Amino acid sequence: MKVTAIGTGYVGLVTGACLAEMGNHVVCLDVNPEKIRILNDGEIPIHEPGLLEVVRRNVAAGRLQFTTDVDLAVNHGTILFIGVGTPPDEDGSADLQYVLAAARSIGQRMTDYKVIVDKSTVPVGTADKVRAAIADELGKRGLSDMAYAVVSNPEFLKEGAAVEDFMKPDRIIVGSEDEQATLLMRALYAPFTRNHDRLIVMDLRSAEFTKYAANAMLATRISFMNEMALLAEKVGADIEWVRRGIGSDPRIGYSFLYAGAGYGGSCFPKDVKALIHAAQGEGILLRVLTAVEEANERQKILLVDKVVARFGADLKGHHFAIWGLAFKPNTDDMREAPALVIVKELLARGATVAAYDPVAMPEAKRLLADAKGLQFTERAEQALEGADALLLVTEWKEFKSPDFDQIKSSLKQPVVFDGRNQYEPTLMKALGIEHHGIGR
């Protein structure tokens, strides 16, 4: 099938590349010429395991191309995915300007039947706005009779596992109220759901809502566990045992129960805010989600609270090592990363910081360019030298089994603040390392 992906962020690029991998002919469009230049140079603008290989393979096979040419992109696909950003507005609501601009650019150019698919995470009712924007543009061209369908197909991929998530989806949600569009979507996704019928077709509004409800539920689990961790610590329980204990109940399950330094990323924080805002517009206060967000703000600063409890509120003259800056492993994404809050707070209290991340360092240097007292090291061990303590913020694999002797000898004193519960407290004790985990 002929497909166009609008936007080459995580979602647009992964969607385009994976659909090409299944034999479709895909054009990826972006308004950012720099991103298209990088893609046309055979690289990708993000760090995402396995994605570069899929992109290169399909470009070589002639099934995938990148362009800033809107005419070419709109006229190429029968199915056009809108995968542009929906960042939070000042009041927390989702900013739809990029989605609606993409819709208008389609309406300004389409010459035959198109299925326009909202893949961006958008509030309930956005499909109607997309349809209206396209109708408006067609009207201006005297083409009000031209047929098209708007479909909602929210994306559930996780950064760091995006290709795998797209290729082997747990489910594919299609909100469609147009028979022909539903048939096309079924055909497009058939190769991804061959052995299991994982495609769920529903009405447009329910599909749009499903995406927010899913992210809100996952964020809730994390904040719930972070709160349980606060209490566990006080009463002498270990949240890691509690996690295993409750996860064994299939009604609860093991996934997304890890207490840590708070959730970050481009989606949970913004989607929770957007849902709260949408509910407010309907006169409903979402008490649970409001608390989920508050708990997460507190959690992001928890590691610094622990540092303060150990070293005092004034950290002048103290130096700390930070391992991990990305909001999670296997990505260079630092949007809403807990590390940003932690670094800034340590510096504000007068400390100096040496930080290392396996891939997010260029992004960290960009975001923390003005941070005085912060240095970046080329290797993890270098960050340890002369530090009062190590703060582990992102659980990259390479931090899982470090050389503990080196940690002991490089730090001024062997103190580790383990923001992702990577190290066993009993082992740390046996090694003579003062270990401060989360909820244990």
Ligand X SMILES: O=C(O)[C@H]1O[C@H](OP(=O)(O)OP(=O)(O)OC[C@H]2O[C@@H](n3ccc(=O)[nH]c3=O)[C@H](O)[C@@H]2O)[C@H](O)[C@@H](O)[C@@H]1O
Ligand Y SMILES: NC(=O)C1=CN([C@@H]2O[C@H](COP(=O)(O)OP(=O)(O)OC[C@H]3O[C@@H](n4cnc5c(N)ncnc54)[C@H](O)[C@@H]3O)[C@@H](O)[C@H]2O)C=CC1
Residues that bind ligand X (CB under 6 A): 121, 155-159, 215, 218, 222, 256-258, 260, 263-265, 267-268, 327-328
Return d(Cα 300, Cα 34) in angstroms, integer.
Answer: 33
Q: How many CA atoms lie within 13 A of 401 on its CB side?
A: 0
Residues 6 or more apart from 36 whose CB is under 8 A from it?
8, 30, 66, 67, 68
**Residue number with CB closer to ligand Y (98 or 148):** 98
| Chain contacts with ligand Y (rule: CB under 6 A) | 6-12, 29-32, 35, 83-86, 98, 101-102, 105, 120-121, 155, 157, 159, 266-267
| Active-site entry in 39, 102, 127, 267 | 267
**Smaller CB separation from ligand Y, 270 or 318:** 270
The least CB distance from residue 104 to ligand X, in Å, is 25
Q: Among ligand Y, ligand X, none, what binds residue 436 when CB lies within 5 to 8 Å by partner kind?
A: none
Residue with Cβ nearer ligand X (156 or 404):
156
Which residue has its beta carbon closest to ligand Y?
A: 9
DSSP state of 11: H
User: Which of ligand X, ligand Y, none sits in contact with 32, Cβ below 5 to 8 A by type?
Assistant: ligand Y
Q: What are phi and psi of 103, to 5 degrees?
A: -60, -45
Note the residue count of the chain: 440
328 binds, options ligand X, ligand Y, none, Cβ within 5 to 8 A by partner type: ligand X
| Residue 85 touches which of ligand Y, ligand X, none (Cβ within 5-8 Å per kind) | ligand Y
Between 169 and 439, name the residue whose CB sits nearer to ligand Y: 169
Is 28 noted as a catalytic residue in this protein?
no
Q: Which residues of 221-357 form beta strands (DSSP E)?
A: 319-323, 352-356
Is residue 74 within 8 Å of 2, Cβ to Cβ?
no
Pairing mode, if any, of strands 319-323 and 199-202? unpaired
CA–CA separation, 377 and 383 (whole Å): 6
Tokens at 306, concatenated: 């622990």
Closest among 412, 416, 355, 353 to 390, alpha carbons compared = 416
Nearer to ligand X, 176 or 421 (CB): 421
Residue 315 touches which of ligand X, ligand Y, none (CB < 5 to 8 A by kind)? none
Residues acting as catalytic residues: 267
